[in-house]
Amino acid sequence: MSELHNDNKTHQKSYILKNKIKTTELVRFDWFIKNLFRDKSDFEVVEGFLSELLKEDITILEILESESNKKRKEDKLNRVDVLVRTEKDENIIIEIQNNDEFDYLQRILFGACKNIVENLNVKEYYYKVKKVISVSIVYFKAAEGEDYIYHGTTSFRGIHTNDELRLTKEQQDAFKKTLPAQLYPEYYLISPFEFNDVIKDTLDEWVYLLKHSEILNSFNAKGIKPAKEKLAYHRLGKRKQKEYDIDIEDMRDTLIWGETQRLKKAYQEKLEKEVVQAKREKAKAQREKAKAEREKAKAEQEKAKAEQEKQHILQNAQKMRFEIARNLLKNGASLLLVATATGLSENEIKNIDF
């Protein structure tokens, strides 16, 4: 994990703890989904959000019961999701995740596939498979990317022609779709913390709400004005307000605990990296020292060898001078001539046995 990525995560967590997890004029959208989104009178809020996201008018017929809809203790600390059926008989999974989850992308894939399997009876034909749309709002970095909203589909393209596979005329008439991608699950991944607060369209108004739990007076997105009323903190009774405050405090405590554990882990990893680096540097220094010692020993050996060769040359030269002197003396040369020719002293010449 890069230092830049760690810095981003630290910034995001700090933002949550300092700015996001607090009591505001509006309750958090995930808390609304989990605790208030049960009556048809509240459907217009989520319908507005989905309509802006999917770029079509969405009408929710009912909230479907699923394992994810059941209240569990960890819901308020981790994720909140709900399953709805639309007027087009499509199932939409809305999931909001606060805590980091390394394999989150695989989990939303599993969730979509599980929903498909659970909604198809054994005796039904495959054309009865319901369209599933997975909408994830994540308050952590689920993957690397520059955008704050990603849309994923499954398309079939020719390996040689790169053309997109289309349904036959009969299939189009039966399914009211043109491409296989329109039959397969779709995925929307929204990262509010990646949003730079620059409102470019009505969908951004919803992302702003998801990020800040705040609705500006200028907002006109579908469902946004009902949301300002439905999500109002003062609208809650005292019992609900207390529940909300407790949930927010639990969320804050959980995130603080998670951040503490993350920092401890990061610190431990840093220490381990420093130990490993220190060992590497020590080993490198030892290798360099050993290399220097080998080179020094080699240099000394070469110096000794050179000295031996020098002495050997000098000895040979001395022998040669004595040999020349011996030959000159045998031929009757004077001491002066021999000394001049060989460089030997008179005493050395006198001691020559010839």
DSSP letters along 177-203, please? -SSGGGTS-EEEEE-GGG--S---SHH
Residue 255 lies in a domain: no
Residue 54: per-residue pLDDT: 96
Say which residues have a Cβ less than 8 Å from residue 47's Cβ, sequence separation at least 6. 58, 59, 60, 222, 223
Residue 51 has pLDDT above 90, yes or no: yes
Q: Would you state the structure tokens that stand for residue 195, as one six-digit string?
A: 């949003």
Question: Which of 210, 235, 260 is a domain's end point?
Answer: 235
Question: Which of 235, 264, 289 is a domain's end point?
Answer: 235
Residue 63 lies in a domain: yes
| Coarse DSSP helix, strand, coil percentages of the chain, rounded to the nearest 5 percent | 60, 10, 30
pLDDT in tens, 215-229: 999 999 999 999 999
Same domain, 221 and 323: no
Q: Which of 255-264, 270-279, 280-289 has the lowest mean pLDDT?
A: 255-264
Asked if residue 63 lies in contact with residue 93, where contact means CB atoms within 8 angstroms, the answer is no
Largest CA distance in the chain: 140
Asked if residue 184 lies in contact with residue 154, where contact means CB atoms within 8 angstroms, the answer is yes
Question: Which of 235, 256, 281 is a domain's end point?
Answer: 235
Residue 141 has pLDDT above 90, yes or no: no
Q: Would you state the structure tokens that stand for residue 292, as one six-digit string?
A: 């220097």
Same domain, 106 and 210: yes
Number of domain units in the chain: 2
Same domain, 106 and 199: yes
Residue 166 lies in a domain: yes
User: By percentage, how much of the chain surpasses pLDDT 90?
Assistant: 54
Residue range 161-167: mean pLDDT, rounded: 96
Residue range 204-217: mean pLDDT, rounded: 94
Residue range 124-134: mean pLDDT, rounded: 91
Residue 354: per-residue pLDDT: 67
Residue 9: per-residue pLDDT: 44
Mean pLDDT, the chain, as a whole number? 85
Same domain, 334 and 226: no
Residue range 98-125: mean pLDDT, rounded: 88
Residue 79: per-residue pLDDT: 57
Same domain, 320 and 219: no
Single-letter code of the amino acid located at 199: I
Quickly tell me which residue has 């045998």 as its tokens. Answer: 330
Residue 4 has pLDDT above 70, yes or no: no
Residue 11 lies in a domain: yes
Q: Which of 75-79, 154-158, 304-308 has the lowest mean pLDDT?
A: 75-79
CB atoms within 10 A of CB 27: 23
Name the nearest CA neighbour of 95 among 189, 215, 27: 189
Residue 56 lies in a domain: yes
Residue 80: per-residue pLDDT: 63
pLDDT band at 66 (very low <50, low <70, confident <90, very high): low
Residue 76 has pLDDT above 80, yes or no: no
Q: How far from the centroid of its chain's Cα atoms is residue 343's Cα?
A: 85
Same domain, 171 and 320: no
Q: Would you state the structure tokens that stand for residue 106, as one six-digit string?
A: 């695989």
Residue 38 has pLDDT above 50, yes or no: yes
Residue 305 lies in a domain: no
Q: How far from the centroid of its chain's Cα atoms is residue 97's Cα?
A: 17
pLDDT band at 252 (very low <50, low <70, confident <90, very high): confident
Residue 23 lies in a domain: yes
**What is the SS3 assignment for 6?**
helix
Domain that holds residue 190: 3-235
Name the nearest CA neighbour of 179 among 195, 150, 204, 156: 156
pLDDT band at 3 (very low <50, low <70, confident <90, very high): very low
Residue 124: per-residue pLDDT: 83
pLDDT in tens, 303-315: 999 999 999 999 9
Residue 259 has pLDDT above 90, yes or no: no
Same domain, 206 and 69: yes
Same domain, 181 and 318: no
Same domain, 9 and 129: yes
Residue 278 lies in a domain: no
pLDDT band at 8 (very low <50, low <70, confident <90, very high): very low
Same domain, 171 and 316: no
Residue 81 has pLDDT above 90, yes or no: no
Q: DSSP character for 119? A: T
Residue range 169-189: mean pLDDT, rounded: 95
